[in-house]
Amino acid sequence: MPPNSGGFALIAAFDAAMGPLLAAAFPFAFPGTHALFNPPTADFFRKERESKLGMTLEEYLPPPGSEYEKTQWAKVKASFGTIDAWIIAGGPENKFFGGQAPNYADFYVAATVVWLSVVVSQDKWADMKTWHGGRWAKLLDSLEEYERA
């Protein structure tokens, strides 16, 4: 958010708007996320998610090559299209929500994109990097200087 703007209300609104958009990616992300955890954490993650989903993580992942998978992946792309449109609304030349400098929203989206790049299949990540003029791969490249403390 803009410096000294007292933007906590904007942050809360942004977080609330992002939740439903990112939920579209969960069927593709949860199985890969689960696979990264050590056994106790993996057990906890599985139990918590499966109790909320009412199905196994494997059942939650759309069957590869199915029409359902194509439909669900299109929803993920549409969600990121909404985010892309928000950035463009600030000015077509903007590469960040904050214009030419990143802010909270950019780091939030970038963290999500990094997570997805790690946990979705390689073909899904390769596809995602091409979306919206390559915005998501470019976002990660442009924030690379912030990757290390």
Cα torsion through 111, 116, 119, 120, rounded to 10: 180
Mean pLDDT (the chain, rounded): 93
pLDDT confidence of residue 4? 62
How many other CB atoms are found less than 10 A from the CB of residue 109?
Answer: 27
- CA 56 to chain centroid: 22
17 occurs within a structural domain:
yes
CATH code of the domain containing 142:
1.20.1050.10
74 occurs within a structural domain:
yes
115 occurs within a structural domain:
yes
The string over 50-70, giving b where at least 16 C-beta atoms fall within 10 Å of a residue's C-beta and e elsewhere, is beeeeeebeebbbeeeeeebe
Q: What parts of the chain have a pLDDT lower than 70?
A: 1-6
pLDDT confidence of residue 1? 55
Domain enclosing residue 105, as ranges:
8-28+67-146
131 occurs within a structural domain:
yes
Angle, helices 8-23 vs 104-119, to 10°: value is 20
* CA atoms of 107 and 2, how far apart (whole Å): 14
pLDDT in tens, 32-63: 999 999 999 999 999 999 999 999 999 999 99
pLDDT in tens, 63-73: 999 999 999 99
Query: How many independent structural domains does the chain possess?
Result: 1
pLDDT confidence of residue 120? 97
46 occurs within a structural domain:
no
136 occurs within a structural domain:
yes
Nearest to 37 by CA among 64, 21, 54, 57: 57
| Contact by Cβ (8 Å): 102, 143 | yes
pLDDT confidence of residue 98? 85
| Contact by Cβ (8 Å): 73, 124 | yes
49 occurs within a structural domain:
no
| Contact by Cβ (8 Å): 7, 1 | yes
pTM score of the predicted model: 0.89
3 occurs within a structural domain:
no
